[in-house]
Amino acid sequence: MKFIDTHTHIYLEQFDNDRTIAIENAQKNSIEKMLVPDIDITHRQKMLDVCSQNRDFCLPMLGIHPTSVKEDYKNELNLLKIALEKQTPIAIGECGLDYYWDKTFVEQQTEVFIEHLYLAQHYKLPLVIHSRKSLNEIIRLLKQYKHLNVNGVFHCFPGNTIEAEEVMNLGFLLGIGGVVTYKNSTMAEVVKYAPIDCILLETDAPYLPPVPYRGQRNESAYIPVIAKKIAEIKTMSLEEVADATTNNAKRLFNL
């Protein structure tokens, strides 16, 4: 039984003191691969270095996180394009829109996200989408640019069953993490509704740890906890959830 954590920021400073141990813990808990999203130029080299040091286990993506879109966004885009010419990422991301923290650069976020759609088409790579407080706007943009024929995953999917249906109809999968274990979360309804073939497992480590680890640092070793909750909701065995979600990740990311 093997799992894939499709979204972990293992390169962030929260892991600086014990990164090797965290990776070993993941491997001991049947994690086959850790997929590692980009944030921006200030984090990119460290992200690539961690992936290089753990080759074939930690696999890099390239993109610009929406909260990193500021006045210098055109320079960020140029640096991303240079990186894409030199590297071989498994996906474009994490990218998208974030209306939670700050709406100062909403127009620029939209411009950058559309650029990511074209990059995904050009490099024939899936998108890893961040959609905090912006899900319906992203769905609208994906419909507008449907001719680009891109696919991917909505990381930490934040919506309801109706929005999940729209996302799946657009050819995207749902990234499900620790939130599904939270008492007042509506994710259980989404997980129950969505076919298992449309679900990916993720941690978003070091953020959003599942119960019973809330308040602690999240890590990839907790993926089986998330999978167990999904198995309960869908009345499936843990092995079935592991097999299906691992195959989904391998198919989407061409692993």
- pLDDT per residue over 204-252, tens digit each? 999 999 999 999 999 999 999 999 999 999 999 999 999 999 999 999 9
Cα dihedral sign for 107, 111, 114, 119? negative
How many domains does the structure of the chain reveal? 1
pLDDT confidence of 64, banded at 50, 70, 90? very high
- CATH number assigned to the domain comprising residue 39: 3.20.20.140
Does 103 have pLDDT greater than 90?
no
Helix (H) or strand (E) holding 194: none
Distance CA 157, CA 159 (A): 6
The Cα 98–Cα 103 span in angstroms is 8
Which residues span the domain enclosing 188?
Answer: 3-252
pLDDT at position 101 over 90: no
pLDDT computed for residue 102 by the predictor: 82
Specify whether the CB–CB gap between 32 and 80 falls below 8 A. Answer: no
> Is residue 184 scored above 90 in pLDDT?
no
Model pTM score: 0.97
Query: Could you give the CA distance from residue 94 to residue 108 in angstroms, rounded to a whole number?
Result: 16
